[in-house]
Structure 1
Amino acid sequence: MGRTHGGRNRRAPGARGGGRLMLTHVAAASGAPSSTLVLSADALPEGEEELCGALRDATDWLCERGLDDITKIALIAPSRHPLFDLDYRFVQVLPGAVNGFDFRGSCGHSILASVVVASRLGWLPKLAPEHRVRVRVTNNNDRVVCEVDESVRDRTTFTVHFLRQQEPRLDSLLPDGQVLTGLSTSEGGIRVSQVSAGNPYVFVAATDLGVRDVDELFGDSARLYESLSEIRRSAAVHAGLPAEGAFPKVAALLPDGDATLAVRALSVPSWHPTIALTGAVCLGAATKIEGTTPHSLAGSAARPGVPLTIRTPGGSTVASAAVSGSRPSSTLSWVSVPHKEVVFRGAVDIDSLRPHTRKDELLCL
Structure 2
Amino acid sequence: MMHSLPCIILRGGTSRGPFLRLDHLPKDDDGRREVLRKVMGSGHVLQIDGLGGGNSLTSKIALIAPPSHPEADVDYLFAQVDVEGDQVDFSPNCGNMLAAVGPYAIETGMVEAKDQVTHLRIHNLNTRTLIDCQVPTPGGRVAYQGDTQISGVPGAGNAIKLGFLGAVGAKTGKLLPSGQVINVIDGIEVTCLDSATPVILIEAASLGWQGNETPAEMDANLEAMARLEKIRLKAGELMGMGDVRGSVLPKPVILSAPRTDTGTLCTRYFVPHRCHGALAVTGAITLAVATSVPGTLANRIALAAGTITADSLTQHVQLEHPAGFLDVEVEHENTDPMTPSRVSLLRTARKIMSGEVFIDLPDSVVMPPRT
Q: Residue 29 in 1 paired to residue 29 in 2?
A: no
**What SS does structure 1 have at the residue aligned with 2:236?**
helix
Is the alpha carbon distance of 1:148 and 1:65 closer, same or farther for their aligned partners in structure 2, counting shifts above 3 Å?
closer
The answer (yes or no) to whether the contact 2:61–2:79 under 8 Å persists in 1 is: yes
- Partner residue, 2:34: 53
- Partner residue, 2:285: 281
Unaligned runs of 5+ in 1: 1-20, 361-365
2:330 to 307, 321, 342: 321
Normalised by the length of structure 1, the TM-score is: 0.79
Is the alpha carbon distance of 1:343 and 1:225 closer, same or farther for their aligned partners in structure 2, counting shifts above 3 Å?
farther
- Partner residue, 1:89: 77
Q: Runs of 4+ in structure 1 displaced over 6 angstroms?
A: 165-168
Output one character per residue of 1:111-136: Cα deviation in whole Å (capped at 9) or x when no partner: 12222222211112347654222000
Which has the higher mean CA deviation after the structures are superposed, 191-200 or 64-73?
64-73
Which has the higher mean CA deviation after the structures are superposed, 258-267 or 227-236?
227-236
**What SS does structure 2 have at the residue aligned with 1:220?**
helix
- Partner residue, 2:124: 137
- Partner residue, 2:143: 152
2:343 to 322, 335, 352: 335
- Aligned AA (1:210): G
Q: Residue 67 in 1 paired to residue 52 in 2?
A: yes
- TM-superposed deviation, 1:22: 6.1
Normalised by the length of structure 2, the TM-score is: 0.78
Output one character per residue of 1:229-265: Cα deviation in whole Å (capped at 9) or x when no partner: 4433443354313214211111111111576111111
Cα root mean square deviation, aligned = 3.0
Equivalent residues in 2 for 1:225-240 (5 A)?
Answer: 225-238=225-238, 239-240=241-242
The answer (yes or no) to whether the contact 2:121–2:133 under 8 Å persists in 1 is: yes
Which has the higher mean CA deviation after the structures are superposed, 118-127 or 108-117?
118-127
- Aligned AA (2:130): R
**What SS does structure 2 have at the residue aligned with 1:159?**
strand
- TM-superposed deviation, 1:65: 4.5
The answer (yes or no) to whether the contact 1:286–1:292 under 8 Å persists in 2 is: yes
Which has the higher mean CA deviation after the structures are superposed, 154-163 or 129-138?
154-163
**What SS does structure 1 have at the residue aligned with 2:159?**
strand
Q: Sequence identity of aligned pairs in percent?
A: 23
Structure 2: distance between partners of 1:48 and 1:167:
25
Is the alpha carbon distance of 1:74 and 1:111 closer, same or farther for their aligned partners in structure 2, counting shifts above 3 Å?
same
Q: Residue 296 in 1 paired to residue 300 in 2?
A: yes
The answer (yes or no) to whether the contact 1:106–1:139 under 8 Å persists in 2 is: yes
Structure 2: distance between partners of 1:232 and 1:119:
39
Output one character per residue of 1:29-76: Cα deviation in whole Å (capped at 9) or x when no partner: 2333xx122110111122212212222222338541473433211111
1:43 to 24, 30, 39: 24
The answer (yes or no) to whether the contact 2:41–2:51 under 8 Å persists in 1 is: no
1:108 to 85, 95, 111: 95
- TM-superposed deviation, 1:218: 6.2
Is the alpha carbon distance of 1:105 and 1:218 closer, same or farther for their aligned partners in structure 2, counting shifts above 3 Å?
closer
1:210 to 208, 211, 220: 208
Unaligned runs of 5+ in 2: 146-156
- Partner residue, 1:179: 181
1:197 to 195, 198, 218: 195
- TM-superposed deviation, 1:164: 2.8
Which has the higher mean CA deviation after the structures are superposed, 278-287 or 268-277?
268-277
- TM-superposed deviation, 1:306: 3.0
- Partner residue, 1:307: 316
**What SS does structure 2 have at the residue aligned with 1:148?**
strand
- Aligned AA (1:41): L
- Partner residue, 2:150: none
Is the alpha carbon distance of 1:183 and 1:244 closer, same or farther for their aligned partners in structure 2, counting shifts above 3 Å?
farther
The answer (yes or no) to whether the contact 2:72–2:122 under 8 Å persists in 1 is: yes
- Aligned AA (2:179): G
Is the alpha carbon distance of 1:31 and 1:228 closer, same or farther for their aligned partners in structure 2, counting shifts above 3 Å?
farther
Structure 2: distance between partners of 1:127 and 1:252:
42
